[in-house]
Amino acid sequence: MAPPANLLQGTLDLLILKTLTLGEKHGVAIARRIEQVTRGTFVVKPGSLFPALHRMEEAGWLTSSWGESDNNRRARYYQLTRAGRQQLKTETQEWGRISVAIAAALRG
């Protein structure tokens, strides 16, 4: 496994928002899902994950509530708000623009 890449802050937000489009999840599940969809490229440590989740919740993009995990553990579940979906849309477009630009620059 290649060493996990550094996560730019904007990237982490984007990945979290995207992950939560599938429905509410608790912190570890979000991290695992990101790891899984990026095929292990991004490993999200709790030390980065939780500050990001709290920041995004305060920005109004997420809401959270207590729930039960699959093996009956109490866990904090996060879900997208309408503003969060809007934010995902904006950030996705932004990301598209940047990746095209970077790719072009690297090809140049």
Partner 1 sequence: MIWTSRLASLWRNLVHRGRSERDLDDEVRACAAILEDENVARGLPPEEARRQALIEMGGMEQVKEDVRAVRMGARLETVGQDVRYGVRTLARTPGFTTAAVLALALGIGATTAIFSVVDAVLLRPLPYVHPHRLAVVLTRGTGPVAPGNFLDWRRDATSFEAMGAAEAWGTNLGGNDRPERVDGVRLTSDIFPLLGVPPQLGRTFSSEEEQPGHTRVVVLGHRLWQRRFGGDAGVVGRSITLDGEPHVVIGVMPRGFEFPPFWATGAELWAPLPLAERAGSRNGQSLRIFARLAPGATLERARAEMATITGRLESEYPGTNRNVVVRTLDDIVVGDVRSALLVLLGAVAFVLLIACANVAHMLLARAAARRKEVALRAALGASRARVIQQLLTESVVLAAMGGAAGVALAAAVLRVLIAISPGNLPRLETAGLDPRVLAVTVVVSLATGVAFGLVPALQASRFDLSGALHDGERGSTVGAERHRLRRFLMASELALALVLLVGAGLMVRTFVALRRFDPGFDPRRVASAVMSLTGSRSEEPARRLAFYREVLERVRAVPGVASASAINHLPLAGDVWGFPFQVEGRPPAKPGESPSAAFRVVLPGYFQTMGLPLVRGRDFTEDDRLDAPGTIIVNEWLAERFWPGADPIGKRLTLDDLDRNPEWLTVVGVTRNAARGKWAAAPDEEMYLPLLQSHLYLERKGGPFSYLTLVVRTSTDDPAAVAPSLRSAVWSVDGNVAVSEVQTMEEVVARATASPRFYLLLLGSFAAAALALAALGIYGVMSYSVARRRNEIGIRMALGARPADVMQLVMGEAIAVAAAGGAVGLVAAVLMTRLMGGLLYGVAATDPLTFAGVCAILTMVALAATYVPARRAVGVDPLKALRAE
Asked if residues 77 and 66 have their Cβ atoms less than 8 Å apart, the reply is yes
55 binds partner 1 (CB under 8 A): yes
Q: Which amino acid is at 2?
A: A
Go through the chain and tell me how many residues it has.
108
CB of 13 to partner 1, least distance (A): 12
10 binds partner 1 (CB under 8 A): no
Nearer to partner 1, 10 or 96 (CB): 10
Please state, in angstroms and rounded to a whole number, the distance separating the CA atoms of residues 11 and 83: 18
Place of tokens 């509530």: 65
65 binds partner 1 (CB under 8 A): no
Would you tell me which residues interact with partner 1 (CB under 8 A)?
A: 26-28, 45-47, 50-52, 54-55, 57-60, 69, 71, 73-76, 83
